[in-house]
Structure 1
Amino acid sequence: MSPANAAMQDGTDTEQTSGNWSWWPSWRPTSMSLLKSAEAKILACLQNNVWSRFVTLPNQNRIWTLKVTNKSARKHKDQAAQTPLVMVHGFGGGVGLWIRNLDALSCSRTVYAFDLLGFGRSSRPSFPSDASLAEEQFITSIEQWRQSLGLERMILLGHSLGGYLATSYTIQYPERVSHLILVDAWGFPERPQPQLQGSGGQGSEVKRVSPPRWVKALASVFSFFNPLAVIRAAGPWGPGLVNRFRPDFKRKFEDLFDDDTMTQYIYHCNAQDPSGEVGFKAMSESLGWAKRPMVQRVLLLPPSMPVSMLYGALSWVDSSTGNTVTQIRGKSPTSVTLIEDASHHVYADQPEEFNRVVESICNNVD
């Protein structure tokens, strides 16, 4: 049995429970089984072959994993020779959000997508409150996942938080990454320092307007809670909250689903125990800046490591960070691509263009 087959356990394994209090599920209408059902409905749209399994790590934590390959048997041998693409979702996401991309990107090579530790259907262990230790726990789980599957090298793609973690992973294990693709990556820029009026010079470079006092007050209050605590605290009103505050998720996938499938999926991903959320909070400053900005560490990437940075032209993530990274890396291969009419979820807003750009990058690898 190959390492990959040995590591990928049957997806019908006993589901993990989502809480310790017997009354909690009746108040909060979610469970791992409901998440599994919502995800199954999404993945039913895929045309290519999909293997979905739990990958068990040495510490018995489990990473929920998809492996997508081209249906054509003739091409299967060719695919095996190509460097696989590994896709890492962002904060609060899961493998289901790649539904517009998995078929297209798996035509010429194997594609893996997994739920980060603490998110989606993966195990939800406790995370330390120290930023570097929380980050290390994520990175260790990714490396153990890779080892369990026996992947020698990969093209590593990360969105948002996934981009931050993919960069950290590549710094530690550069020999395992052929190309790093960062999609609207979170946590790169340093937090701008407040500028005094009339300071001139450098002050003029900081374009971001200081948030109103009430926003700062709210941020201060919410800093005591996990980012998505309100969804869980809302109990039976939680699914409605997701629909109300994130109607864009329904719109992005409305040609695939004419109901609340995607917002239900988002709800069930985030109404479980807040494990990865705790890890993210440990790595974050208030208002979402990273405590350990990745821009301070990109020089630790090998000079020969190709890095492609993709941004949505309408995103809240500042694409000028890509230019900063390019300058820092000097002659190292770094490219920045702006995708028009796309917001933060580039892969869902403009899937055809996103898939075209990513496939072109992959084809340059092999």
Structure 2
Amino acid sequence: MFQNSCKMQTYVHKAVQCTLLKFLDVFCTAYCSFLYLCFQFSWLAPKWLAWNRFSEGMLRTLEKKILSIVRTPHRGFFVDIGPVVGNSDKIWTISLNTESPKTPLVLLHGLGAGVALWCLNLDALSSVRPVYAIDLLGFGRSSRPNFSHDAVEAERQLVHSIEEWRKEMKLKEFILLGHSLGGFLAASYSIEHPDRVRHLILADPWGFPEKPAEHKDVPLWIKGISYVLKPFNPLAGIRVAGPFGPWFINFVRPDISKKYQMALEDPNLIPEYIYQCNSQQPSGESAFHAMMSDFGWAKVPIVKRIDRLDAKMPVTLLYGARSWVDHSAGDIIKEKRTSSYFKLQVISGAGHHIYADKPEAFNQIVLDACNYTDSTKSNTPMITGPDEQERDEPESDRNS
């Protein structure tokens, strides 16, 4: 009797799971097809989709409000990098403490982000050196050209845009820090332009390991949804939500606003800023879609070329202990760069957005890496880590 009961429960469970999967498959297919038609044929688009379209003025205002908590005088400006991808591409840039003679620090954000999300880090990082934060080409307030649909070419275009920005800024060399997608591009840039990067700092980088052959622990229904949504850009849901975009961001990721609640009085600033950054033409997002393999991995992962990174270039790798990103990059770098400086830091209690989850710990690790760069011109080979840090969360506008 007991065995029959167990068999019946198993049968019912599988039947329910199968039914749910079919429902989700049909629903997602129909919904995504509707969205595709709406954006392809404007006469099918419901009026509410136009209620709150992207506004350059709104994005500028939101950025200014968020960056108002930064006490260090800073300036925002566009850097004309010429016809890199489009006819006349421009990179939005924030600069701080540019009078300092020390090696500058350049910050590259992740997918769907922008310069304002560094607001918890800019004061500390610019305390003793110049800091430049940019909106990557195709993101934030930077130009939105049409990138190649080829993974290798799209990556090359993004890396080339960073190099053209460096030339226009007349930076001979700098410390390069990239988060998530920015970490992937920072590593790629460092491989192609080793003479420009004094220290590579990778903050929870995306796109390092190869995609596993099979994900046995992933539920069937998640695999089904991932398959159905595969043709679409990863942040399409934000644009589809129209005027409900900020609410949608808060609903899907309520933790995003909480990361900044100690510093910002208005809890709606961050979701509204993210919405405005991503309610535009999905230019850089499309480049990411071309480079990704099922979102979590890159089609051309860094592991396949990490051995081309200059052995003299020091590398600091930071991970959030609770991050969803594959942490095997640490083992990859350690294995490939046995005679080079490499420091691995794991920040306890932090997720993927380590710069906002634990800003004090993040800032100190970055400052230590920068100080190491200042202390030596010829970097001594060294491998250290992993270290685990736990710190309590902290808490003139010449900016645009």
Interval containing the TM-score (normalised by the shorter chain): 0.7 to 0.9
Is this contact kept in 2: 1:154–1:178, CA < 8 A? yes
Is this contact kept in 2: 1:178–1:365, CA < 8 A? yes
Q: Greater Rg, structure 1 or structure 2?
A: 2
Distance 1:156 1:24 in 2: 42
Distance 2:264 2:205 in 1: 27
**TM-superposed deviation, 1:330:** 1.4
RMSD between aligned residues:
1.7
What is the aligned partner in structure 1 of residue 300 from structure 2? Answer: 292
Distance 2:328 2:228 in 1: 30
What is the aligned partner in structure 2 of residue 3 from structure 1? Answer: none
Instruction: Determine which of 120, 124, 138 is the counterpart of 1:104.
Output: 124
Could you say what secondary structure the match of 1:174 adopts? Answer: coil
Is this contact kept in 1: 2:49–2:241, CA < 8 A? no
What is the aligned partner in structure 1 of residue 110 from structure 2? Answer: 90
Is this contact kept in 2: 1:323–1:336, CA < 8 A? no
Instruction: Determine which of 251, 262, 277 is the counterpart of 2:258.
Output: 251
Pairing 1:126–2:154 present? no
Listed one character per residue, the Cα deviations across residues 218-249 of structure 1 (whole Å, up to 9, x for unaligned) are 11111111111111112122221011111111
Pairing 1:63–2:96 present? no
Distance 2:275 2:96 in 1: 25
Distance 1:320 1:235 in 2: 38
Pairing 1:117–2:117 present? no
What is the aligned partner in structure 1 of residue 180 from structure 2? Answer: 160
What is the aligned partner in structure 1 of residue 352 from structure 2? Answer: 344
Pairing 1:45–2:97 present? no
Distance 2:206 2:357 in 1: 18
Listed one character per residue, the Cα deviations across residues 229-284 of structure 1 (whole Å, up to 9, x for unaligned) are 11111212222101111111110000122320111111111111100000000000
What is the aligned partner in structure 2 of residue 18 from structure 1? Answer: none
Distance 1:280 1:218 in 2: 19
Distance 1:105 1:223 in 2: 38
Is this contact kept in 1: 2:82–2:90, CA < 8 A? no
What is the aligned partner in structure 1 of residue 396 from structure 2? Answer: none
Distance 1:24 1:89 in 2: 31
What is the aligned partner in structure 1 of residue 223 from structure 2? Answer: 216
What is the aligned partner in structure 2 of residue 16 from structure 1? Answer: none
Is this contact kept in 2: 1:25–1:31, CA < 8 A? no
**Normalised by the size of structure 2, how large is the TM-score?**
0.79
Is this contact kept in 1: 2:325–2:352, CA < 8 A? yes
**TM-superposed deviation, 1:24:** 8.6
What is the aligned partner in structure 2 of residue 33 from structure 1? Answer: 57
Instruction: Give the aligned length.
Output: 326
Structure 1 gap ranges (5+): 1-20, 71-75, 195-207
Distance 2:283 2:252 in 1: 22
**TM-superposed deviation, 1:209:** 3.5
**Normalised by the size of structure 1, how large is the TM-score?**
0.86
What is the aligned partner in structure 2 of residue 226 from structure 1? Answer: 233
Q: Which amino acid aligns with 1:131?
A: A
Percent identity reads 49
Is this contact kept in 2: 1:28–1:232, CA < 8 A? no
Could you say what secondary structure the match of 1:250 adopts? Answer: helix
Q: Which amino acid aligns with 1:112?
A: Y
